Amino acid sequence: MSEVPLMSLETLTDLIEQFLPIGEWGFTENVRVEAVEPFVIYNSEWCRIKFFVERNRYEEHLHISYGRLHAQNTGLRMKWNGKDCRCWYDYWDLYLIFYFLDDASPHDAYKAMFSFYEKGSPKHPLVQKHLDSGKSNNKSPSTELRVEQSLKFHSSIWSYYGLRFFELFDLRRPDLWEKYVNFLRGVYEPDDYERYFPPGKLPEYQVC
């Protein structure tokens, strides 16, 4: 199997601007790092978005994460108010954010998350649409097609929730963030948390 050509950050940012309304929501490029696994971060008045390219010899994968404006450029954790916490949020975090914004109960969000891989289990409409889009071609998608599908998924999130989605991360809305943290505490009940996550792991609800 031959090695795949690497996607440049220029190509990635072109795709971002093509498939995400990045400028319409006031996002501007803040950080660009050319590295073995490059990334670019955009800032708005509400939050940060990080586009990180994970590479191995044969494939490239785009990871898209959201952070509050105090999130550090690198690393998933930081110190905030004297405590370790996660400061970047990706696919699984988004899944729970959807249920929070939909006013679902923590119990319903828990059931949806832990039954995700069960055949026939119901999925959130946004997630189901994204999964269906990946089944449209039996061939292995190219890197650019996978990136396009991922960006379109996030575009659908922005369209579906609008400003409510970004306001969740807004440092000017500590009341809303605290409500979300309490929601996460309800999702990760202590007994089930110990069953699914190893001792010493940073609790999933310890976010900032």
Q: Give 45-66 pLDDT, tens digit per residue.
A: 999 999 998 877 677 888 999 9
Sign of the dihedral through C-alpha 183, 179, 156, 73: negative
Task: Identify the residue with better confidence: 132 or 12.
Answer: 12
- Cβ count near 63 (within 10 Å): 15
Mean pLDDT of the chain: 84
- Whether the predicted pLDDT of 132 surpasses 60: yes
Distance CA 131, CA 123 (A): 10
pLDDT band at 35 (very low <50, low <70, confident <90, very high): confident
Give residue 34's pLDDT: 85
Confidence (pLDDT) at 8 = 83
Give the residue with greater pLDDT, 145 vs 122.
145
pLDDT score for 1: 35
Q: Helix axis angle, 106-114 relative to 91-101, nearest 10°?
A: 150
Crossing angle, helix 106-114 and helix 174-187, to 10 degrees?
60
Phi, psi of 100 (to 5 degrees): -65, -45
